[in-house]
Amino acid sequence: MPRRDVVERVLGIVDYVLLEGLGVRNWRELVSWRTVIVVVSLLTYFKILRLLTKAANLYYRLRYGIDFKGDMRYVAELARRMGKRVERVDEDLLSIYEKNREVFKLRLVLILLVPLLYFVVHDLWATAVGFLTGHYAQATKWFISILLTIVGIPIILIAPFISAATTIRDTKLINRAQELISQGHKVLIVRGKGHVEYIVGELRRRGVECEVLS
C-alpha cells in the first residue's frame, strides 16, 4: 500500500474509488459434494485473514496508536472522508460458479492432502510423546509445525480457485472502470498485487491510460 500522503494526493484527483471484496454470503447455495471442500477452504482462508488483520490491528494500536483495519477499509474510510464515491466491484461465489463451474473442482491438488494429513497425524503423535516424556521444547516445535500445516491446507486447496477466478473477478472491475472513465470520471482502483498486471494490461489494451502506485 502506498504512503498515506500519496493516497491522499491521488484521492484529491479522482472521483471514484473501486475496491475488491469477494462476496461469500451466498456460500450455502453452492454446497454440494463437488464443491464443499473448496467452499469450506475459502471460508477458512478468509477467517484466517480476518484473524491476521485483527492481530495486525492490535500491533499497530499498541505500538503506533493506529487503528489498522486492512488496506481496503483504510482507503475506503479515507476516500469517504474526502467526499469520494466508493464502490465494491467484485464477483461473489455464486456468480463465479455460474460463469465457470470448473474453478470449484479440486483436480490434482487432492493428491497433496495425503502427505499433509500424514504429516499432521505424525506431528500430533510426536507432540504427545514429547509432552509425556518431558521434552517440552521439541514438543512445542512439533505443535507449531502442526498449526502451520493446518493453516496451509486451505490455502493449498483454494490456490487453483484463486488463480482461475482472478480473470472473472477482474473483468467485472475493468468493465466498470472503463464505463466510468468513458463518462469522464477519474478512477482509483485498489486491488491486490496479484491482480495488478492483468488489470493494467487489459485497460491499456482497451486504450485506457493508467498508472500503478506503489
d(CA 26, CA 33): 17
Q: How many CA atoms lie within 13 A of 98 on its CB side?
A: 8
Q: What is the pLDDT of residues 168-207, one digit of tens each?
A: 999 999 999 999 999 999 999 998 888 889 999 999 999 9
Whether residue 138 contacts residue 32, with contact meaning beta carbons closer than 8 Å, is answered with no
CB atoms within 10 A of CB 38: 22
Residue 112 confidence class, pLDDT cut points 50, 70, 90: low
Higher-confidence position of 61 and 111: 61
Asked if pLDDT for residue 95 goes beyond 80, the answer is yes
User: pTM (2 decimals)?
Assistant: 0.74
Amino acid at 140: T
Task: Return d(Cα 152, Cα 140) in angstroms, integer.
Answer: 18
CA distances from 17 to 85, 125, 177, 191 (A): 6, 51, 9, 11
Cell of 191: 486491488
Cell of 12: 484529491
